[in-house]
Amino acid sequence: MQLENGKYLLSGGVDPLELGKKYQLPLYIYDSAVMKRQYDRMMNAFDVPKIKVNYACKALSNINVMSLFKEFGAGLDTVSVQEVELGLKAGFHPRDIIYTPNCVSLEEIEEAVALGVRINIDNTSILEQFGQVHPDIPVCIRINPHIMAGGNTKISVGHIDSKFGISFHQMPLVHRIVEATGLKVEGLHMHTGSGILDADVFLSGAEILLNIATEFHDLDYLDFGSGFKVPYKEGDVETNIEELGKKISKRFRHFCKEYGKDLTLIFEPGKFLVSEAGYFLAKVNVIKQTTSMVFAGIDSGLNHLIRPMFYDAYHEISNISNPEGKKRFYTVVGYICETDTFGVNRKIAEIHEGDVLCLHNAGAYCFTMSSNYNSRFRPAEVLVYEGKDYLIRKRETMEDLLKNQVELPVFQKVESAR
Ligand SMILES: *Cc1c(COP(=O)(O)O)cnc(C)c1O
């Protein structure tokens, strides 16, 4: 979103305030031009014979967003069989979908096999069971290189006691299972968590994976996962994807030469592709002055955007109704009957009741983590595509809240007696 002539505008000159009026608030808006820019950056950063970017759709799983990435030429990274089904509905070819679950049942993996997608196995127990029933289905193996990444333990998945992946110390066991079952290993995978700052940290993980790769002779691809960091506020460091691309590409080309085959280099970013493309708009209900601060209470809460409360995530907040107003300090809070603070003592252009606030970086892990807590409806989602706006999810209604609730006759009697 750019500030132009005193107005915040999306790509193609689309006015977010107009979208707020048209679709009502609170509202999620996604700017597809930003997604395209990030996808192109990723593709251009790597100079290897075969590169594939799989969009990690748990970040934002609206099927239109998935279809958009399909149009760009991306594959899909999924973590549940339901995401697989959404991906197929969005038009992805099964072979362009990789299924990377954690701690799911063999039955769920079987469902994914039946749908024809690529299977990534992340523990030796399932690997052994799977190999016995499906020695003919090629698999990818998720390795944990124990690289620490991310500022928050909730999103760091590479540490030694992490539940994700097979420890690289257990490779002898993996080889024994592969030999005993006759499994074909077509790929190796690592994903060390969200928020990697440093290209060199990433490279040391990659180095471990490349070393392990030399022990497998039938590989088609190596998947280096994701965890790329994007800026959430001014001055934030972001993953230097261009620098990382140069370093990894050089190393990867060298590896392929030694391996004797051009493997596909895969990445599976979620946040990097969609975070900055998303905006969450909500109206200010109340301005409330206490002894020590000024609260701006918005018509939303942790039910719609939980990252600040769940991860202490920082989301930039702007008053798009008064872009050039004098800056003052506000603590922005939600309406949920629980502490739901979006930001403390933020410098924001003067806020009046009825103004529309915009939370930035609302593309990744925002709508997908929303809930009906306090029996509130989930908001609508709008996609801005080639200068036009499209409703891609309707706002919920009372019907949605009641849809799967079963009203017991015994209680209905009480009501009719009233
Ligand atoms: C969540 C996830 C991703 C995406 O992570 P980001 O930090 O959003 O880029 C990639 N791969 C796997 C296996 C994941 O679980």
Q: Which domain holds residue 37?
A: 33-271
**pLDDT category of residue 147 using cuts at 50, 70 and 90:** confident
In a domain, 415, yes or no: no
In a domain, 416, yes or no: no
Are 29 and 282 in contact by the 8 Å Cβ rule? The answer is: no
State what percent of residues in the chain have pLDDT above 70: 94
Residue type present at position 316: E
User: How confident is the model over 205-257, as pLDDT tens digits?
Assistant: 899 999 999 999 999 999 999 988 899 998 888 888 999 999 999 999 999 99
Ligand 1 near 318 CB (within 6 A): no
Alpha-carbon torsion, ordered 124, 126, 131, 133, to 10 deg: 160
Q: Check whether residue 221 and residue 299 sit in a common domain.
A: no
Ligand 1 near 270 CB (within 6 A): yes
- Give the Cα separation of 189 and 106 in Å (integer): 19
In a domain, 408, yes or no: no
Ligand 1 near 227 CB (within 6 A): yes
| Residue carrying the six token digits 């990723």 | 42
Angle between helices 241-259 and 32-45 (to 10 degrees): 40
- Give the Cα separation of 91 and 67 in Å (integer): 7
How much distance in Å is there from the Cα of 78 to the middle of ligand 1? 9
Does residue 417 carry a pLDDT above 60?
A: no
Mean pLDDT confidence for 265-279: 97
- Give the Cα separation of 155 and 56 in Å (integer): 15
In a domain, 418, yes or no: no
Instruction: Assess whether 337 carries a catalytic annotation.
Output: yes
Determine which residue's CA is closest to atom 2 belonging to ligand 1: 56
> What burial class does residue 327 get, using C-beta atoms within 10 Å of its C-beta: 0-12 exposed, 13-18 middle, 19+ buried?
exposed
How much distance in Å is there from the Cα of 418 to the middle of ligand 1? 53
What is the atom index within ligand 1 of the atom nearest the CA of 271?
A: 8
Q: Check whether residue 250 and residue 393 sit in a common domain.
A: no
- Give the Cα separation of 175 and 42 in Å (integer): 33
Residue type present at position 37: R
Overall domain count for the chain: 2
User: How confident is the model over 226-240, as pLDDT tens digits?
Assistant: 988 899 998 888 888
Count the Cβ atoms, other than its own, within 10 Å of residue 209: 19
Are 53 and 75 in contact by the 8 Å Cβ rule? The answer is: yes
In a domain, 143, yes or no: yes
Are 170 and 214 in contact by the 8 Å Cβ rule? The answer is: no
Q: Please give the residue that has the higher pLDDT: either 227 or 66.
A: 66
**pLDDT category of residue 148 using cuts at 50, 70 and 90:** low
How much distance in Å is there from the Cα of 226 to the middle of ligand 1? 6
Q: Check whether residue 242 and residue 281 sit in a common domain.
A: no
**pLDDT category of residue 413 using cuts at 50, 70 and 90:** low
User: How confident is the model over 124-146, as pLDDT tens digits?
Assistant: 999 999 999 999 999 999 999 88
Q: Check whether residue 71 and residue 180 sit in a common domain.
A: yes
Ligand 1 near 194 CB (within 6 A): yes
Q: Judge if pTM exceeds 0.85.
A: yes
**For position 167, which CATH number holds?**
3.20.20.10
What is the atom index within ligand 1 of the atom nearest the CA of 364?
A: 8
Q: Check whether residue 145 and residue 258 sit in a common domain.
A: yes
Ligand 1 near 268 CB (within 6 A): yes
- Give the Cα separation of 9 and 3 in Å (integer): 6
Q: Check whether residue 281 and residue 378 sit in a common domain.
A: yes
**For position 285, which CATH number holds?**
2.40.37.10
pLDDT at site 229: 87
Of residues 400, 369, 398, the one with CA closest to residue 301? 369
Q: Check whether residue 264 and residue 290 sit in a common domain.
A: no
What is the atom index within ligand 1 of the atom nearest the CA of 195?
A: 7
Catalytic residue among 140, 337, 358, 366: 337
Judged by DSSP in three states, 394 sits in: coil
Determine which residue's CA is closest to atom 4 belonging to ligand 1: 270
**pLDDT category of residue 201 using cuts at 50, 70 and 90:** confident
Determine which residue's CA is closest to atom 3 belonging to ligand 1: 56
Mutate to test the pocket of ligand 1, among 77, 164, 361 (most ligand atoms within 8 A of CB): 77
Does residue 273 carry a pLDDT above 60?
A: yes
Are 382 and 19 in contact by the 8 Å Cβ rule? The answer is: yes
Ligand 1 near 225 CB (within 6 A): yes
What is the atom index within ligand 1 of the atom nearest the CA of 59?
A: 8
In a domain, 410, yes or no: no
pLDDT at site 114: 98
**Tokens standing for residue 364:** 């990744």
- Give the Cα separation of 331 and 27 in Å (integer): 21
Of 271, 301, 334, at which residue does a domain stop?
A: 271
Q: Check whether residue 152 and residue 186 sit in a common domain.
A: yes
| Residue carrying the six token digits 């955007």 | 305
Q: Check whether residue 63 and residue 208 sit in a common domain.
A: yes
Q: Check whether residue 145 and residue 64 sit in a common domain.
A: yes
Q: Check whether residue 359 and residue 216 sit in a common domain.
A: no
Does residue 414 carry a pLDDT above 70?
A: no
Ordered DSSP codes for 214-265: TT-SS--EEE----B---SSTT-----HHHHHHHHHHHHHHHHHHHTS-PEE
Of residues 322, 277, 281, the one with CA closest to residue 298? 281
How much distance in Å is there from the Cα of 224 to the middle of ligand 1? 10
By residue count, the chain amounts to 418
DSSP conformation class of 58? T
Q: Check whether residue 121 and residue 233 sit in a common domain.
A: yes
Ligand 1 near 301 CB (within 6 A): no
